[in-house]
Every structure is written in structure tokens, then in C-alpha cells.
Amino acid sequence: MVTNANKRGLGKGLGALLSSEEKIENIGIVSRENNNSKSESYIKELDINLIEPNKNQPRKNFNQNSLEELAKSIEEFGVIQPIIVNKEKDFYKIIAGERRWRASKIVGLKTVPAIIRTYDEMQILQIALIENIQRENLNPIEEALCYQKLVEYFFFTKEDIANKVGKSRNTIGSMISLLNLDVRVQNFIAENKLMLGQAKKLLVIEDNNIQFELANKIIDNCLSLKQAEELIQNTLEYKQDNKNNLKNVENQYKNIEENLINILGTNVSIKNGKKKGKIEIEYYSEQDLDRIICMFNRLH
């Protein structure tokens, strides 16, 4: 279990997890190993093939065009900001800086500057989450998953998260709520096909298939936020009308049942199907059956 002390360790964000000499913005260009550091961490040029991405990295989608642009910058100026890695046996796991590592591989660099630290799994996850959130390079679904992990793994409240990342509590709650959408709709958001505002409007639709159907209509017809809202509202009203009509039909059959019960003096149930229905009349003895049959005979 993660204690409150662990939670407070996040401080004001990523910077609080790194000692002052390690903060990325203060490092500058690093091109060779630094063996004079007395702290637990140190900076070293690492063989790029000994570095592996973090499987718990919140960011899952890396825009290829953006990577190519970063690669050109690295080719011209080198890796200005070292990546942060965790030493694990014979390899190093990336904590922060996977884009720089990927771009360096595109360029064909043999080594990259890295800050080497020794963290446990919980610390690694905290840093990876906060670093990505603060850089604002996640798509909305990745960001929402970050917040959810902070809640589930570190028992953060929305208020805690809001304080760490400099956003309002309502914004955090709103982002997390996106994870209640159908997975297919979430993919549309992640792929930037569906606007965030449009996606949030879909949360009032409980049926996942209807969510997906409406999302497709919004995308295919290039609807504005207002048009999307109108489409969703019309769908809700249509659904409510159908529900009311169904309720009226049910009430009608209920009234018929009650009338037959009063007439026949026994329990009667009507089962209505899409193409056919049936009436069930109960009797409790042969004499009771004869009584009911006689009543029907008198109808001739």
C-alpha cells in the first residue's frame, strides 16, 4: 500500500522527484560520462541498444512526423536534454525521454546521454505519469489513463492530481470520465478524429453501440460541436418517445389483463411478442375449467 508520505513525494511534479543537479532544464548539452557525481544518479553516454522503453509508459502513440522533425534537430544539434533511465541488470529502462531515444535511433546514433537512477517500480510509474502530463504531449485518452492510474495505484484524489498538474479538479474528473465511453469512441478521440467537446457530449448516451453509431455520424458528416449536441439530443428524445410508447402499450395490455381477471374470476396473463402473443388463463380444478368454458360458450 502506498502511504501518504509516498504521495507527497511527488511535490510540485517531476522536478520534486529529481535532485536539483538532475533537473532536465539545468543539465544542458551532455556529451560524455560524468563520473564525479556523488549522488546516487549520474550522467553517462549509453549504448542505444542497451536501452529499452518502459512498458508502463503512458504515451502509446508516437506521431511519426513529429519524430522525424525531432530526429532532424538531433542530427544537427545532438541530444540537448538527456533521457532518464533506470538501471536494470544488463539494460536500462526509459523513465522519461522515449521520444528522444526513438528519434536518436532514426538518426542512427550509437549512444545517447542519459541520467541513470535507481528507482523502484512505483517511483518509475509516478515519474513517467507526471513527466508526460506536464509535457502535455499525450492525447486525451492517454492523459485520462494517467489520471486513472494515479487514482488506482497511488490512491490520489482528483484534488491531489489537480494540485500536482496545475489543472482544476473538474477538468481531472471530466478527463477521467472519457474512459466510460465505448472503446471504439475512445480510439476516435486518440486518433484526433473526434473533438473532445463532442466526445464529452456522448457520455449522456448509456448504450455503447449507440455511442459508436453517433460518433461515426459526427465524424462522417463533419458536424460542429453544436450540430453534434443537437444530434445527441434528438437521439435521446427519440429514445424517450419510444420508451413512453412502449410504456403506453404495456399499460394497455395491463388494463386488458385486469378486465379479463374481473370477468373470468381467475388469473390471466397476456404475453405480447413482436410477431405474436398469447393469453394464459389459469384454472384450479375440473369444475373451475367447466365454469370458464361455460362463460365462453355464452358469448356465442
**CA atoms of 298 and 16, how far apart (whole Å):** 91
Burial class of residue 232 (count of CB atoms within 10 Å of its CB; 0-12, 13-18, 19+)? buried
Q: Annotated active-site positions, please?
A: 98
1 has a pLDDT exceeding 70: no
How confident is the model at residue 37, as a pLDDT? Answer: 37
4-137 is a CATH 3.40.50.300 domain: no
Instruction: Please check whether residue 140 is in contact with residue 187, taking contact to mean a CB–CB distance below 8 angstroms.
Output: no
- The pTM for the full model equals 0.57
4 has a pLDDT exceeding 70: no
Percentage of the chain modeled with pLDDT above 90: 45
| Average pLDDT for 38-58 | 78
Q: What is the pLDDT of residues 93-146, one digit of tens each?
A: 888 888 899 999 999 999 999 999 887 777 777 777 777 776 666 889 988 988
How confident is the model at residue 271, as a pLDDT? Answer: 87
Neighbours of 58 (CB within 10 A): 21
How confident is the model at residue 60, as a pLDDT? Answer: 66
The continuous run of DSSP H or E covering 275 comes out as none
DSSP state of 26: G
pLDDT band at 31 (very low <50, low <70, confident <90, very high): very low
Which residue matches cell numbers 424517450?
240
Facing residues of 272 across strands? 277
**CA atoms of 126 and 22, how far apart (whole Å):** 17
**CA atoms of 293 and 48, how far apart (whole Å):** 91
List the alpha helices (DSSP H) in 93-224. Answer: 98-107, 121-135, 140-154, 158-165, 169-177, 183-190, 196-201, 208-220
| Average pLDDT for 167-184 | 94
**CA atoms of 76 and 29, how far apart (whole Å):** 13
How confident is the model at residue 58, as a pLDDT? Answer: 65
Per the model's pLDDT, the better-predicted residue between 241 and 203 turns out to be 203
Percentage of the chain modeled with pLDDT above 70: 83
Least confident of 15-29, 126-140, 216-230: 15-29
| Average pLDDT for 215-236 | 94
Sign of CA dihedral 147, 168, 173, 158: positive
62 has a pLDDT exceeding 50: yes
**CA atoms of 296 and 291, how far apart (whole Å):** 9
Per-domain residue ranges for the chain?
4-137
Instruction: Please check whether residue 184 is in contact with residue 202, taking contact to mean a CB–CB distance below 8 angstroms.
Output: no
Neighbours of 224 (CB within 10 A): 13
| Average pLDDT for 49-61 | 79
Per the model's pLDDT, the better-predicted residue between 12 and 72 turns out to be 72
∠ at Cα 278 (273, 279), nearest 5°? 135
